């Protein structure tokens, strides 16, 4: 599998070249264009795995009927263009017998061999500024593509680092984390406008996004026609 990321950082797409027999699992709606030697299978099951339902996927789509698309190249030299739904970035992350925790809306596509578990509850009952936030635990070996709202920037955490929770895209599970308030005092945080932050500790890679959807939505929303 070869890939090329284009049109960074706001209308980013990834062009993936697949050889005959290779497959890619994507979220529904991610396919923009593809060459004609590709087939697609819409399913709720993990491809090539034990055939079981991807864990926690019901939550991913709030209990509605849900589907994933498995694209397979039936001929050599097939190409597929993938893109996320919102304006934003795409980044490539190779998993090497490791685990990455990904913000639910940031998972775009992965090698079918990677296990995707959407029932991860590592943050416990912490309240997040984005109400429908959930997290996906991705483990195994293979290629992964993440997307964001905003530009993606990487931080190699070595010690500790603090991120506003709305700006977390993904992080390696070698990191410890703690949710808390941003400012020195509770009142200060509330009035200052910073909501919850996540303090990461240890060593590992952290992907952040420069913007967050609810802040933009709340700015544009009031100017729209009421429903």
Residue 200 phi, psi dihedral angles, 5° rounding = -95, 140
User: Which lies closer to other proteins via its Cβ, residue 5 or residue 98?
Assistant: 5
CB 64 to other proteins: min, Å: 5
User: Which lies closer to other proteins via its Cβ, residue 55 or residue 66?
Assistant: 66
**Which residues, other chains included, contact 195 with Cβ-Cβ below 8 Å and sequence gap of 6+?**
129, 164, 165, 166, 182, 189
Residue 80 phi, psi dihedral angles, 5° rounding = -135, 135
CB 125 to other proteins: min, Å: 23
What x/- string results for residues 153 through 192 when contact with other proteins is judged by CB under 8 A? x-x---xxxxxx--x--------------xxx---xx-xx
Nearest-angstrom CA–CA distance, 12 and 93: 15
CB 141 to other proteins: min, Å: 27
136 binds other proteins (CB under 8 A): no
Nearest-angstrom CA–CA distance, 52 and 176: 30
Applying the rule CB under 8 A, the residues between 29 and 58 that interact with other proteins are 29, 31-36, 38-42
Measured in residues, the chain has a length of 227
User: Which lies closer to other proteins via its Cβ, residue 94 or residue 190?
Assistant: 190
């Amino acid at each position: 599998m070869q890939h090329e990321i284009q049109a960074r950082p706001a209308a980013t797409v990834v062009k993936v070249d697949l050889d005959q027999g290779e497959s890619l699992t994507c979220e529904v709606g991610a396919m923009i264009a593809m060459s004609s030697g590709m087939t697609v299978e819409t399913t709720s099951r993990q491809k090539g795995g034990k055939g079981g339902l991807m864990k926690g996927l019901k939550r991913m789509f709030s209990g509605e009927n849900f589907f994933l698309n498995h694209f397979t190249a039936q001929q050599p030299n097939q190409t597929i263009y993938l893109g996320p739904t919102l304006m934003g970035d795409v980044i490539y992350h190779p998993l090497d017998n490791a685990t990455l925790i990904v913000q639910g809306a940031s998972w775009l596509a992965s090698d079918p061999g990677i296990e995707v578990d959407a029932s991860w509850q590592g943050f416990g009952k912490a309240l997040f500024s984005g109400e429908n936030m959930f997290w996906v635990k991705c483990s195994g070996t293979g290629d992964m593509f993440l997307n964001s709202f905003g530009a993606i920037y990487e931080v190699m955490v070595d010690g500790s680092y603090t991120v506003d929770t709305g700006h977390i895209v993904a992080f390696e599970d070698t990191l410890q984390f703690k949710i808390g308030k941003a400012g020195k005092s509770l009142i200060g945080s509330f009035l200052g406008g910073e909501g919850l932050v996540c303090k990461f500790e240890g060593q590992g890679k952290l992907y952040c996004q420069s913007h967050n959807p609810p802040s933009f939505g709340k700015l544009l929303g009031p100017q729209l026609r009421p429903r």
